[in-house]
Amino acid sequence: MAHLSYVGNVASWDPTTLGRTRELLRETVHACDTLGVDLLVVHAGAAGPQGRGAALRTAAETFRLAVHQAEEVRLLVELMAGTSGAVASLPHEAEELLAEVGDDQLGLCLDTAHLFAAGVALHDPAGVAALSDELRGRALAPRLALVHANDSVFERGARRDRHADIGDGLIGTDGWRALVNDPLIGSVPWMLETPGDVDRQRADIALLRSLRER
């Protein structure tokens, strides 16, 4: 799997930035197909001064173009942390964006730190179950292809995106146990985007695996 460079904004109001982002995305899609990469993660984008409605349509057009350019690689939209102007952070916003794109090929990547920052109660098993139910209810379950597993430095709903090593943030053991054992969320590949070094990341993976009950 690969991640589009962070310099782009798929929803940019600025024609130069938007053009550069679409070109970067086209090149990255081609590189992924050449290299045999399965999944390409792309952030949902930020509105800026144009307002969210226009940004949603711009982002949708960018994703539509990229999905049509892709041969084998599957594009995934990564939901944002509820930061100001974010095109899609919560499941109902993802549903809106995917409907606007109108292509079943486009998949979904969830980032636990982003969801927590956007207000989802991932520290609480009931909150994890509610998220899982909502994903199924909004027909997002078949779209879910990847989880970015990151703990969160800032409190739930802070709309601030700062990743922590697993167990050092505010999601907590009960939250992680519910997440890894959730029949939907725990069934797709996970990857870390935590700040720790390789040894710390090995320990984080061992901790997450130790919480699995199946």
Under rule CB under 5 A, how many of the chain's residues touch Zn ion? 3
Q: Return the bridge partners of 148, or none.
A: 111, 191
CB 3, min distance to Zn ion, A: 8
Using the minimum distance from each CB to Zn ion, give the nearer residue, 95 or 161.
161
Cα–Cα distances in angstroms (integers) from residue 109 to residues 88, 203, 214, in the given order = 12, 23, 23
Interface stretch with Zn ion, choices 16-24, 57-65, 69-77, 143-151 (CB under 5 A) = 143-151
Q: Answer for the pair 117, 152: CB distance below 8 angstroms, yes or no.
A: yes
Stretch that binds Zn ion, among 22-30, 115-123, 147-155, 181-189 (CB under 5 A): 147-155
Q: How far is the CB of 42 from Zn ion (least distance, A)?
A: 11
Which residue has tokens 């009931």? Answer: 126
CA nearest neighbour of 45 among 73, 6, 95, 16: 6
Could you give the dihedral angle defined by the CA atoms of residues 96, 20, 76 and 156, in that order, rounded to the nearest 10 degrees?
-70
Spatial distance between the Cα atoms of 155 and 177, rounded to a whole number of angstroms: 19
Contacts of residue 102, defined as CB under 8 A and 6 or more positions apart, other chains included, come to: 60, 64
Of 100 and 111, CB closest to Zn ion: 111
| Least CB distance to Zn ion at residue 2 (A) | 13
Which is nearer to Zn ion, 133 or 193 (by Cβ)? Answer: 193
CB of 114 to Zn ion, least distance (A): 6
**Residue 148 contacts Zn ion per CB under 5 A:** yes
- CA gap 109, 189 in Å, rounded: 10
Nearer to Zn ion, 14 or 38 (CB): 38
Q: Shortest Cβ distance from residue 45 to Zn ion (Å)?
A: 14
User: Length of the chain, please?
Assistant: 214
Closest distance of CB 112 from Zn ion, Å: 9
Q: Report the residue number, 3 or 57, with the smaller CB distance to Zn ion.
A: 3
Beta carbon nearer to Zn ion, 13 or 190: 190
The interface with Zn ion within residues 93-122 (CB under 5 A) comprises: 111
Cα separation of 57 and 26, whole Å? 19
Residue listed under structure tokens 């009950």: 213
Site for Zn ion contains 204 (CB under 5 A): no
Looking at residues 154 to 193 of the shown chain, list those that interact with Zn ion (rule: CB under 5 A). 193
Judged by the rule CB under 5 A, the positions of this chain that interact with Zn ion are: 111, 148, 193
